[in-house]
Structure 1
Amino acid sequence: MKIERNRVVAIQYTLKDDAGTVIDSSEGKDPLRYLHGNNNLIPGLEKALEGHEAGKQLQVKVPPEEGYGPRAQEMVQEVPKNLFENEKIEVGMQFQVQGEDGIHILTIAEIRDDVVIVDGNHPLAGANLNFDVTVVSVREASPEEIAHGHVH
């Protein structure tokens, strides 16, 4: 059975950056299961998997435009340090903020005397994503999975 819209796909994967450093992997874990064609994977990986069958092994390079997008400098902002009140903050910490268009995750990129530099970009924005993928299985989705847009 080929991978196409509204099929449940299970994959094993390893994600590396351009230097070959492993960023994430399903190795030693259950395969990642997702409902194909429902925006449950980054677009570039989903597009590369389309039409393949169980057993297929692929190496996929996803550019930023088909991954987490290019880095947007406007997503990096200085905020007054006193907004964090007396909380212990350090570089790399993440927190959620409510915006007009929903919840955003910000990462503390730098701490100066009286300001904190926060970055709203996804940590992998601007990066090429290099996947080694094995398609484990492909099956028809249930009507309930299709209605909900994800695997049950």
Structure 2
Amino acid sequence: MSSITAQSRITLHFELALDDGQIVDSNFEQVPATFNFGDGSLLPAFEEALLGLEKGSEASFVMPPEKAFGAHNESNLQRIPRAQFDMDLQEGMVVSFADVSKNELPGVIAEIGAEDVLVDFNHPLAGRTLTFKVQIISVEETA
């Protein structure tokens, strides 16, 4: 039986959960995901956790923020004049902005003031410890 290496094509079920057990993402009730190791489908630390697992393996890994989506960065909070928004705003809503290169950049409305709006451009899971649970369905070598 082959185990996962940096040359593997992996099919798996996965689940991401917060410290309190709230499930953020899961495909256990859906079609399993298939990807090639190193193709960018998973964060590097999540891929590294899979190394050595075999078909049929089930495992759970606690991923601190620095191995998941990074620390919450205060410099990613920006105040934007409220007049720049031509929509009804609600705290918690995600708004799409264009960065200087015209790339789409999502931001979460963190606070709505009379004059300005505080927008959080951190990844929604930044600063969170996550539990990454997997069930390996198949492992194939690609090279």
Which residue number corresponds to residue 84 of structure 2?
83
Could you tell which deviates more after superposition, 37-46 or 93-102?
93-102
Q: State the distance in 2 between where 1:51 and 1:32 align.
A: 18
The runs of 5 or more residues in structure 2 that have no matched partner are none
Q: CA deviation at 1:121?
A: 0.3
Which residue number corresponds to residue 114 of structure 2?
113
CA contact (8 A) 1:64 1:70 kept: yes
Which residue number corresponds to residue 98 of structure 1?
98
The runs of 5 or more residues in structure 1 that have no matched partner are 143-152
Which residue number corresponds to residue 3 of structure 1?
4
Q: CA deviation at 1:100?
A: 3.5
Given the superposition, is the C-alpha separation of residues 51 and 100 from structure 1 closer, same or farther in structure 2, using an over 3 Å criterion? Answer: farther
The letter of the residue matching 1:98 is A
Q: State the distance in 1 between where 2:72 and 2:97 align.
A: 19
Which residue number corresponds to residue 26 of structure 1?
27
Q: What are the superposed Cα offsets for residues 14-55 of structure 1, whole Å, 9 maximum, x if unpaired?
A: 221111222221121011222112222022211110121111
| Count of equivalent residues | 141
Q: State the distance in 1 between where 2:61 and 2:117 align.
A: 37
The letter of the residue matching 1:4 is T
CA contact (8 A) 1:61 1:129 kept: yes
CA contact (8 A) 2:38 2:44 kept: no
Over the aligned positions, Cα root-mean-square deviation in angstroms equals 1.7
Which residue number corresponds to residue 36 of structure 2?
35
Which residue number corresponds to residue 56 of structure 1?
57
CA contact (8 A) 2:15 2:133 kept: yes
Q: TM-score scaled to structure 1, two decimals? A: 0.85
Q: State the distance in 1 between where 2:7 and 2:138 align.
A: 14
Q: Give aligned-pair identity as a percent.
A: 31
Q: State the distance in 1 between where 2:95 and 2:9 align.
A: 32
Q: State the distance in 1 between where 2:45 and 2:110 align.
A: 27
